[in-house]
Structure 1
Amino acid sequence: MSDEWGGVALDIEGMLGSLWGKSAEKAGGRKNLLLSHLFDTAAVAELMWEGFLAPSTRLVLDDIAGGPGAGKKFFAWLCGVHDCGKATPAFQRMWPEGAAEVRKAGLTWHDHLIPRKPWRHDRAGGHLLCRDLAGAGWTEEQIDWLWPLVAGHHGRFPSRGELKPANRAKGQLVGTGSWPAVQRALLERFTEGLGFEGVAAVAPARKPSRAVQLHLSGLIVMADWIASDEKYFRGVDDLRRVTLEAARERAGEAWLALGLHQGWGGHGIPGQEAFRERFGQEPRPSQMMVIEAAGRMSAPGLLLVEAPMGEGKTKAALLAAEVLAARFGADGVFVGMPTQATSDPMFSEVRKWLSRIDEELPSRVALLHGKRMFNPEWRALLEGSEADDASRFGGVDEYGECLDDDLYGAGTSDWEDRTPAPGTGARGPADWFLGTKRGLLCPFVVGTIDQLLLAATRTKHVMLRMAGLMGKVVVLDEVHAADVHMSQFLMEGLRWLGQAGVPVVLLSATLPPRQRQDLVTTYLAGASSREEYVAHGLPETDGYPSVTAAWPSSRSGSVAEAGGVPEPQYLVACCSGWRTDLSLSVDLLGEVVPPPHTKREDREAAEDGAARSVVDLLERELNAGGCVLIIRSSVPRAQRLYRLLRDRYGDEVHLLHGRLAVGERADRTARCLRLLGPPQGVETGERPGRMILVATQLAEQSFDVDVDLLVTDLAPIDLLLQRIGRLHRHAGVSRPAGLTAPRVVITGVDAVDLAAPQFPGVSEAIYGRFLLLRSAALVRRALASTEGTARGSGWRVPAQVPELVAAGYDVSDALLPPQWLEAAEAAHRQWEKTEGERAEKASQSLLTRRGDKEGSTLAGLHYAGRPESGGDATVEWLVRDGSPTVEAILVVRKGEVHYTLNGRALSVNGDVGADLLEDVLAGTVRLPPSLTESALKELRPLPGWFGHARLRHCPALLLDHRGRTVLGDHDVSYDPDLGLLVQRLVTN
């Protein structure tokens, strides 16, 4: 093969045979030619098409490429062409040995003209495609959406202007002389090798939505990372041996060895008997209502389920996900939960559900959160795992050209960890899926809602996260738990999922009407590709439980006049719940709330008095026994009350909060669930005659316990109702005399009679005074009696739940006593100001900026994106508002010897053998925000941990033989019963 330049014949074949894509160091000892790597990636893409892509994704690709059967070849080309920018002097000069061969072949450049700042090969690829695709006859519209997929394949999408090489390089970065001819030849050789007649024949027939473009971008990254594994794609340095067939053989071996797999593949619509087959029981009316609503949706959309605690929303959602997946071509499910603690039981439930569909599917479920290694079921799936080897899939860069600091950084976050992944012989998902940022690509995923929220951030490699959601059915539980900060990311995620046509199922006990409207509007705005959109005509629910379904009508059908936006379709239904309403008594146990700036000793005296009043209450109520849940608004409040109760009731008292070491917390949680769980899960006689559980908000949701009496600090009404969901939760439980009727006692407020009430400072800091005032007003109306005088009738739960939540979040004055109005108005102004500031803070990291939500391509998407790093302790709080915190491993030092929190000896340097690893990690505890700054400055891993895959990034908090230490200006100790205790040092 030859060409001419300036009348001189060029040895194009020789030049193509010199261009390297992977250096010898990155390709198993022999360089891999650039054309070989392009074919390798295309061959991986073909296997992804056959064994990974969802049917819905394949249909979209067929449509883009021009019709049925055209998508596979186009997808392979799209993935393979990603590294065409390496055919430039800017890249070829970076490896001296390879550069010498390139020069020898006749491709030259002037080093002195090349600026020190590199021109990255991803951007170079975008630049070359803009030039060469236009030369092949592609239209500007076809080029505009495609070049960002190449220019952004290392994690961030540049703008068109950022593609150009520096002018001062005088063409030496992109290449002059024979370079353009070789660059075109590489593109043509690769294109024809895939079976196209030429580059012009690849031109897409349709322009996909920006959400689909983001999905494709993530798939390109996936294909590139797999094809960059030198274990399976060793170098090929002879152009005569570079063929698509050879690449297919290599890719096939890699695919089998990696164990990559899809979800359920072709999945038929489940029949009427499916619910009983999956869950061993007949569906309740509300569950049938949800499943039928999913079956009536004519296009992918949003399915919002509101039902009481214990109604069976999760089972209904899972079967609805089956229906939606079968009807709209999804190949898996993501289930997002509000916390790590709620994710663990859901992981078990999802695996059990999938086992009833196909016995192979449970092994394809990934659990994604930072404490998953403390989940016994997850650990059992990883038996036979390989050692930590994340770097195997990281060889996509050369010589730091665009090194992923955040990909290989040192941090550990709430939403993912760097634990060893299962290899050959493991019973869990393929190890490739468990690397950083890849977890959502696993076919079935259970994790915290943070997984979805992070997919809506302007962060590096966000396309991988979003690609993991698209092609699935997304189920989000407890959506009411998202505060205003998290809601910004939730809404952004729903907007992208709506545009991508991803079915979404949202679950909640109930929602304020405005939040329901916002969720539906946002999804439909995405489906309509509109920045400003109002979901007109959305019917109100008039019963409980209820389901609200919304989806866009077909663009070929009824279309609104303004802007050609598809009219939405709605389905709203309700039915009776399966449980009889509880007539709930509401009582108030007021406490003295000291004003702000009160001396510490006076505050502590008031807290002691509040705790003693609860002890006195239980003395009266538990004479005949009974099980009580007490929820306090902070860890110190819970610890203080626990101390007093333990002195009175001993081992009958249990404490559960977030500052326990993770091993102890997991054990206590399991014990409480065993003792207070559903009757069928409790062995005969195991439910205690008397038990007192003191907890923080951990017990607020997805905590399946049944108690006879609830004592709780005041909270916003929806959260208060969530807590009430633990009260008389299960049928068939024998209850002692005096506690046969459900009753909640409200604490954490001084009074609700005359002037506007006062609340503990920690409660106001968490929830805001405005919502607490409205909740207090609802409590005031419901109070059962005072000195024998009837004042209210309590609450009927769940029948009254919707109206209570609506009233609690309304802003009218009708609910409030006249003497509260002035305080309520001031609180409302402060609440609006604070909520606006929190929303604005979140907006700075949203995937799309204001005014950019109708963009048609990914160009410039990462403009002003967050420069996150894996070692940055604040990253895990990107989607959750609040001060960043640090996790540390508690280690006890006695003399020169280190011990685990459980008393097992380590070496002097803290070296940890395999038999001690879990015991060491069980001592992990999250430090409060007040210690973050000091922890970042003072804490480091033990010397023996630096070479350990799972410990090298974990700071150790060294305690003396008494379990104490000083960190910054705080005295810190760990008590086996109370957990972490923190007290500011007194200074003179």
Structure 2
Amino acid sequence: MSGTEPWAKLTRHDDGSLAARLPLLDHCLDVGAALDAILPVWQPRLEEAAGRPLTSQDIARLIVLAALHDMGKANRGFQARIDPAVKQTVGHTGPVAALLRHSGLRQGPAARALFELLMGWGADQHLAAVMAHHGRPLAEFHTDAGKHSDSWTRHVTHWMPQGHDDPAIAVVHLIDALRARWPLAWEAGPKLPDAPRFVALFAGLVTLADWLGSDTKRFPVEGPYGADRNAWRGDQARAAAVARGFTPFGTPPAPFEALFGNAPYPFQAEAAAADLGPVPLIEAETGSGKTEAALWRWVEMRRRGEVDGLFFALPTRSAAVQLHARVNRAVQALWGEDAPPAVLAVPGYLRAGDAKGQALPGYEVRWDRGEPGGAEDRRWAAERANRFLAARVAVGTIDQALLAALPVRHALFRASALARSLLVVDEVHASDAYMTGLLERLLDQHVAVGGRALLLSATLGAAARARLLKTPVVPLAEAEALPYPALSGIGSPPRAAMASGGTPKHVRIETAGLIADPDAIAQRAVEAARAGAAVLVVHNSVAGAVAVAQAVAALASELAFRVNDVATLHHGRFAATDRQLLDEAVEKAFGKKRQAGGRVLVGTQTLEQSLDIDADFLITDLAPMDVLLQRIGRLHRHAREDRGAFGRAQVLVLRPEERDLTPWLDRGRRERHGLGNVYPNLLHLEATLRLLEARPDIAIPRDNRLLVERALHPEALAPIQQEGGAAWINHGHTLAGGVVADGQRASGVALDLSLPFNQLVFPDDMADVTTRLGARDLLLDLDPPLAGPFGGQVTRIALPGWMVGQVASGAPVERLDDRRFRFGGRDYRYDQWGLRTDGG
């Protein structure tokens, strides 16, 4: 351009006038310095994906390419945005394609310089990856873009010279400056690796480098500029990388006892073995210490140089919240004051280490500890959900990891950030073919770039185990005979692993046709509580749980679970601030240190997995055996002497009043209680019910393997299907088709990073996919706020995507009264029973 150096970032005074501008060249060099600072941690993963070691020249070329990420900002349309009166928004990534594709622009010096670089380095795919740094591949760089010129021709006019004004000259100057800064990149040498997974991994790292290099606290818009800026920006980039956990970090020597306060059980020590392959599986009963085994494996793998970070993925938010504190304590015990803060990767919580954050306008966060020395930098990954996987240590929900396997914005960043970490997936079971299919794809792409994973389960059946560990499904008799507890892995057959060595937990099971009678359920719960039992009631649906909780509160308010003296229950439809109160109250009332005395806690699946809950008596809706065993794991979790009449664990399993489940095959049935919708496989439910009726006394862990296989194994289900007649046979065929369809659907929507980068397509609308995943909560800001049911105010609430339906972007939120609001033409109520549609 003539006379004016192009800018990359601006700041303005309150009146809108220009305060300062950051030159494009400086910003590009900042981002190059940022990639230079973070590459050492990810270099082993890049080399695994490339299939060869990276040379110093490879590194220099990757840095230069990352620095070119914003070269498109030189275009006239973007630069015009310096004038606040200009309303037209012109971008800076897609326009680069016009510079390279248009017949006239291709002859200019900028395009020639770029082609020299792209052809000489073999970097065509890499440039497409760089231009995806805002979170998704661009249509302008797709392999078919030349056939559909409208994807890039609209940008041509913004590059065309006008008199002495040639925007592309700024690109030439930028390339010259980068050549001077990293001359090794232009020396003769082999071309860059172009394996698709290498390019995709690089794409995610460019996004990370851009975020670091765009931090105006580290790289202020107002300067400094000048000859010494390269040294200054290098120092700034390294400081940011160190503070945010993106540089190598040693592991101090420490025994198991120092981290967890006790000697390891044999299986915990053996779980750290190096011969279990890239994806080991630990199968052991609930409460046996699988979490500590996973953490110890991570520590030992760090010492062997196999991994750097840790992402602990759990099935529910409540489980993640509770486990976060345990992981953080272990990390602090290992590293002391130098410990990286364990991030709670749950949207809305803003927790890193022991610090809690408060969301402020403009995506800012105020942390409750304002220590000097860059403490906020260390909590950077906790501030936004799309950064969670970049934390060195994070505990979150499985959906945060699965988003790395779907073509949604920032999936490539998530996958790249996760690549350096041990991915621990807790409470794996045969949930459904769709979720298992996504998990398969995630594990495949993670392992393909050298990532490592660990699966934990108390109840994994042979079919699910075979699918995840890439082995054939063994016959039923062989499956029942497999050891339990056990360690196995891809390429490593199951081997016995002794767990705690404690006495088996004997459980007495009763079944009753009360699933649709909340008053009768409440009566049984209250009777047990009055006898001194800590009673846990788990329903398959929120509506069912609310009905029972209300019945308990009406029958015996003094025994109902309470938060700040308000009777309530536990499920996922509470505002984040109230969920924190609920989780803390659950831990206090039903945790390891709970006081003696009767009480009743009602909830949903949020109570069944990974929570350290200790109950005396369980009342639960009928569910598949693997799920029931998870729920039973909440009973007698710790040694206590005050259980009275409930010295033996007891379970009441609720079924329909009529024992025959055939009517529940009717998909149109209104009252389902999770039978056929939450848990669609009624063969699993029928097999589970038969087993419980035939074996009212079970022992854990002795019977875990047998119970799971006889309720879930295909060979065990076939006779039930045949005996049931046409309706059950048709149901079985429908299920089989659905399983195949769900598996195919998961494969169809999941990212395929084996494709060349310029063939990747991210659909514009992935709402259905993310809603099914449970990741499409819509965060609503409430102004004025609602009155919180437990005190305080609710300023933000998440609406599940399935509850919202189709709502126009920017739709207003109308507060109706202290408890109700209207959004998208629908009224909602939020009170002590959680969020629901008004009247629902």
Q: TM-score, normalised by structure 2?
A: 0.82
Indicate the RMSD between aligned Cα atoms, in angstroms.
Answer: 4.5
Alignment of 1:565-580 (within 5 A): 569-570=491-492, 572-578=494-500, 579-580=502-503
Matched, 1:671 2:585: yes
**Counterpart of 1:958?**
816
Using the alignment, how far apart are the partners of 2:118 and 2:780 within structure 1? Answer: 59
**Counterpart of 1:194?**
181
Q: Which stretch has the larger CA shift, 423-432 or 314-323? A: 423-432
1:828 alignment partner, one of 721, 732, 736: 732
Using the alignment, how far apart are the partners of 2:660 and 2:118 within structure 1? Answer: 78
**Counterpart of 2:262?**
281
Paired residues of 1:325 and 1:472 also in contact (CA < 8 A): no
Paired residues of 1:782 and 1:793 also in contact (CA < 8 A): yes
Following superposition, the deviation at residue 125 of structure 1 comes to: 7.2
Q: Which stretch has the larger CA shift, 618-627 or 929-938? A: 929-938
Using the alignment, how far apart are the partners of 2:32 and 2:195 within structure 1? Answer: 23
Following superposition, the deviation at residue 308 of structure 1 comes to: 0.8
Using the alignment, how far apart are the partners of 1:188 and 1:668 within structure 2? Answer: 56
2:205 alignment partner, one of 205, 214, 219: 219
Following superposition, the deviation at residue 278 of structure 1 comes to: 1.0
Using the alignment, how far apart are the partners of 2:35 and 2:48 within structure 1? Answer: 15
Using the alignment, how far apart are the partners of 1:386 and 1:705 within structure 2? Answer: 30
**Counterpart of 2:596?**
687
Cα-to-partner distance string for 1:275-305 (whole Å, 9 max, x where unaligned)? 111111111122122112xx235xx711221
Paired residues of 1:423 and 1:431 also in contact (CA < 8 A): no
Q: 1:216 to 1:116 in 2, by over 3 A?
A: closer
Following superposition, the deviation at residue 329 of structure 1 comes to: 4.4
Following superposition, the deviation at residue 346 of structure 1 comes to: 1.7
1:152 alignment partner, one of 116, 122, 132: 132
The letter of the residue matching 1:697 is Q
**Counterpart of 2:449?**
500
Following superposition, the deviation at residue 677 of structure 1 comes to: 1.8
Cα-to-partner distance string for 1:529-573 (whole Å, 9 max, x where unaligned)? xxxxx78999978211112222xxxxxxxxxxxxxxxxxx43542
Any idea what SS the aligned residue of 1:656 has? coil
Matched, 1:901 2:788: yes
Using the alignment, how far apart are the partners of 2:384 and 2:362 within structure 1? Answer: 9
Cα-to-partner distance string for 1:16-42 (whole Å, 9 max, x where unaligned)? 985524266589855554443332322
Using the alignment, how far apart are the partners of 1:930 and 1:116 within structure 2? Answer: 34
1:461 alignment partner, one of 407, 410, 420: 410
Alignment of 1:686-835 (within 5 A): 686-688=595-597, 690-737=598-645, 739-752=646-659, 760-769=671-680, 771-783=681-693, 792=695, 794-812=697-715, 813=717, 816=720, 819-835=723-739
Following superposition, the deviation at residue 810 of structure 1 comes to: 2.6
Q: Aligned residues: percent identity?
A: 23
Using the alignment, how far apart are the partners of 1:891 and 1:232 within structure 2? Answer: 33
Using the alignment, how far apart are the partners of 2:831 and 2:407 within structure 1? Answer: 41
Following superposition, the deviation at residue 721 of structure 1 comes to: 0.8
Matched, 1:356 2:333: yes
Matched, 1:858 2:754: no
Q: 1:503 to 1:309 in 2, by over 3 A?
A: same
1:92 alignment partner, one of 64, 71, 76: 76
Any idea what SS the aligned residue of 1:437 has? helix
Following superposition, the deviation at residue 723 of structure 1 comes to: 0.5
Alignment of 1:337-736 (within 5 A): 337-373=314-350, 381-382=355-356, 387-390=360-363, 425=372, 427=375, 430=378, 432-433=380-381, 434-435=383-384, 437-480=386-429, 482-521=431-470, 542-550=482-490, 569-570=491-492, 572-578=494-500, 579-591=502-514, 607=516, 610-615=517-522, 617-618=524-525, 624-654=531-561, 655-658=568-571, 659-660=573-574, 662-678=576-592, 681-682=593-594, 686-688=595-597, 690-736=598-644
**Counterpart of 1:399?**
none
The letter of the residue matching 2:620 is T
Using the alignment, how far apart are the partners of 2:93 and 2:241 within structure 1? Answer: 33
Any idea what SS the aligned residue of 2:773 has? coil
Alignment of 1:302-321 (within 5 A): 302-321=279-298
Paired residues of 2:38 and 2:241 also in contact (CA < 8 A): no
Segments of 5+ residues of structure 1 without an aligned counterpart are: 1-14, 100-114, 392-417, 522-533, 551-568, 594-606, 784-790, 893-897, 905-918, 941-954
Paired residues of 1:457 and 1:845 also in contact (CA < 8 A): yes
Q: 1:97 to 1:969 in 2, by over 3 A?
A: closer
Any idea what SS the aligned residue of 1:544 has? coil
Q: 1:116 to 1:671 in 2, by over 3 A?
A: closer
Following superposition, the deviation at residue 490 of structure 1 comes to: 1.9
Q: 1:643 to 1:161 in 2, by over 3 A?
A: closer
Following superposition, the deviation at residue 964 of structure 1 comes to: 6.6
Paired residues of 1:778 and 1:815 also in contact (CA < 8 A): no
Using the alignment, how far apart are the partners of 1:776 and 1:469 within structure 2? Answer: 40
Paired residues of 2:201 and 2:416 also in contact (CA < 8 A): yes
Using the alignment, how far apart are the partners of 2:473 and 2:126 within structure 1? Answer: 35
Paired residues of 2:511 and 2:653 also in contact (CA < 8 A): yes
Matched, 1:920 2:814: no
The letter of the residue matching 2:817 is L
Cα-to-partner distance string for 1:110-145 (whole Å, 9 max, x where unaligned)? xxxxx99998244357768996466469468x2343
Q: TM-score, normalised by structure 1?
A: 0.71
Using the alignment, how far apart are the partners of 1:933 and 1:496 within structure 2? Answer: 32
Paired residues of 2:135 and 2:410 also in contact (CA < 8 A): yes
Using the alignment, how far apart are the partners of 2:170 and 2:786 within structure 1? Answer: 61
Q: 1:519 to 1:126 in 2, by over 3 A?
A: farther
Any idea what SS the aligned residue of 1:766 has? coil
Any idea what SS the aligned residue of 1:628 has? strand
Cα-to-partner distance string for 1:40-74 (whole Å, 9 max, x where unaligned)? 32223333346xx346357669986754x555534
Following superposition, the deviation at residue 450 of structure 1 comes to: 1.5
Any idea what SS the aligned residue of 1:763 has? coil
Cα-to-partner distance string for 1:599-631 (whole Å, 9 max, x where unaligned)? xxxxxxxx4xx2343355457656643222121
Using the alignment, how far apart are the partners of 1:705 and 1:386 within structure 2? Answer: 30
Paired residues of 1:19 and 1:92 also in contact (CA < 8 A): no
Any idea what SS the aligned residue of 1:584 has? strand
Any idea what SS the aligned residue of 1:372 has? coil
Using the alignment, how far apart are the partners of 2:750 and 2:79 within structure 1? Answer: 38
The letter of the residue matching 1:368 is A
2:68 alignment partner, one of 72, 81, 87: 81
Q: 1:85 to 1:675 in 2, by over 3 A?
A: closer
Using the alignment, how far apart are the partners of 1:229 and 1:347 within structure 2? Answer: 28
The letter of the residue matching 1:81 is L
Using the alignment, how far apart are the partners of 1:934 and 1:489 within structure 2? Answer: 25
Q: Rg: which structure is higher?
A: 1
**Counterpart of 1:602?**
none
Paired residues of 2:240 and 2:377 also in contact (CA < 8 A): no
The letter of the residue matching 2:335 is D
**Counterpart of 2:774?**
880
Matched, 1:120 2:24: no
The letter of the residue matching 1:345 is Q
Q: 1:497 to 1:732 in 2, by over 3 A?
A: same
Using the alignment, how far apart are the partners of 1:936 and 1:548 within structure 2? Answer: 49
**Counterpart of 2:750?**
846
Paired residues of 2:683 and 2:721 also in contact (CA < 8 A): no
Following superposition, the deviation at residue 242 of structure 1 comes to: 6.3
Paired residues of 1:939 and 1:957 also in contact (CA < 8 A): no
The letter of the residue matching 1:430 is R
Using the alignment, how far apart are the partners of 1:116 and 1:442 within structure 2? Answer: 33
Any idea what SS the aligned residue of 1:193 has? helix
Following superposition, the deviation at residue 424 of structure 1 comes to: 6.3
The letter of the residue matching 2:496 is C
Paired residues of 1:64 and 1:204 also in contact (CA < 8 A): no
Following superposition, the deviation at residue 971 of structure 1 comes to: 8.0
The letter of the residue matching 1:252 is D
